[in-house]
């Protein structure tokens, strides 16, 4: 229904977003990724996604 109203990314962009999220999940080891949206700025745009890591990464600076 949103697409009918002209709200959305379009079929081509949806395909690229899906492929990019799959690639991000594979590279980072994250699961259950979801897209929050796109932030349009003057110099470049930012895509915001959220996911869960299967294993928490340890920060060496905080390790005691």
pTM of the model: 0.67
| Separation in Å, CA 41 to CA 6, 13, 20 | 21, 18, 20
Query: What pLDDT is stored for residue 5 in this prediction?
Result: 82
Q: What are 8-62's pLDDT values in tens digits?
A: 788 888 899 899 999 998 988 888 888 888 899 999 999 999 988 877 666 666 6
Confidence of residue 1 (pLDDT cuts 50, 70, 90): low
Query: What pLDDT is stored for residue 60 in this prediction?
Result: 61
Compute the distance between CA of residue 54 and CA of residue 29 in angstroms, rounded to an integer. Answer: 7
Query: What pLDDT is stored for residue 23 in this prediction?
Result: 93
Instruction: Please state the domain extents for the chain.
Output: 11-53
- How many residues are given for the chain? 64
């Amino acid at each position: 229904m949103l697409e009918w109203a002209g709200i959305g990314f379009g079929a081509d962009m949806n395909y690229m977003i899906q492929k990019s999220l799959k690639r991000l999940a594979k590279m980072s080891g994250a699961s259950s990724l979801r897209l929050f949206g796109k932030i349009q700025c003057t110099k470049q745009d930012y895509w915001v996604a959220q996911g869960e890591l299967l294993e928490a990464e340890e920060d060496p600076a905080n390790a005691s």
